[in-house]
Amino acid sequence: MSAPPIGNHLRRLRFDHGEMTQDALARAAGVTRQTIIALEAGRYAPSLELAFRLARVFGRRVDEVFFWREEN
Amino acid sequence: MRIAVVILLSALVGLLLSAPWIDWPLPEGLIGAGLMLAAAAGLRRHWQHRAQTRGDEPGEPEREVWHGLASTSLIGAHIATTLVLAGPGAALQDLAVLHHPGRTTWLLIGGAVASYFILHRREVQRDERDRAIAEQATRVSGLVLASLVVVLAVTLGFTPAARLAPMSHVFLAHLLLLALMLSSLTDHAVRLWGYRRDTLLARENAG
């Protein structure tokens, strides 16, 4: 099964925000740490709601956190 | 690979517990339940260690599925072996053939329930990824169950009555139960495949 076409900058944003842990990000976004791991590994594409929640954690727009793989 | 190993090992234990040539020192059901509890305690310790050292321990939903996979394999293999040994004409009243294994089955179910609470953590969180993995598994297991029911229906429907006559209602009922358990096993395996796929790739990316 191929990887989802949506990439993200979650790992970089976490480190830019005081080296936030995956667990802390998971709690802030209301998901499990395993889902954050899967997102950062590019194995899972979030729902629109989760994408907005994650972007809000970092105070960014959704398109600043997520991108189409062809464009990057 | 790990999923197949767990299925085969658990099924082997279930088969051995039904084996009439083995003279167990204790009732088979107690031995099986004891093994489940010991495995659950060992796994819980192992996952706690992984959480502290590598941080890649499985989440609660995945732990539940591992437990379900092993329990279903063990109990399913026990029931299947009992049926084969009892033969199609097995009757509930036959104490040696069905009554005793029936008691074993209930003890194993008790062991499965108790071991679940050993593995179960209080904080249970299921998110959209867990639901997506579960949805895929439900689709596949539903297909498996439907296929098994169709095969059973066609086989029973087109088998001459004379050949069906030796089959007791107990035997047929357990066949249906096994079909359900096989579907459940498929559900667990597909869910774990979903979780494992993510974990393995995450490890590759980290390394």
What's the pLDDT tens digit per position in A9-38?
999 999 999 999 999 999 999 999 889 988
pLDDT at B97: 61
Contact between B81 and B11 (Cβ < 8 Å) = no
Contact of A43 with chain B, judged by CB distance below 8 Å, is answered with yes
Q: Is the pTM of this model over 0.80?
A: yes
pLDDT at A65: 96
Which residue among A22, A32, A42 places its CB closest to the CB of B127? A32
| ipTM of the complex model | 0.81
Which residue among B130, B197, B202 places its CB closest to the CB of A37? B202
Total length of chain A: 72
- Contact list in A for residue B128 (CB cut-off 8 A) is 31, 35, 46-47, 49-50
Total length of chain B: 207
Ordered mean pLDDT values, 10 residues apiece, chain B (207 residues):
93 92 88 94 92 83 93 94 82 63 89 91 80 94 96 90 83 90 96 84 61
Run of H or E residues at B54: none
pLDDT at B94: 62
Q: Do A34 and B129 touch (CB under 8 A)?
A: yes
Encoding tokens for residue B148? 């098994």
Q: Give the C-alpha separation, B83 to B171, whole Å.
A: 7
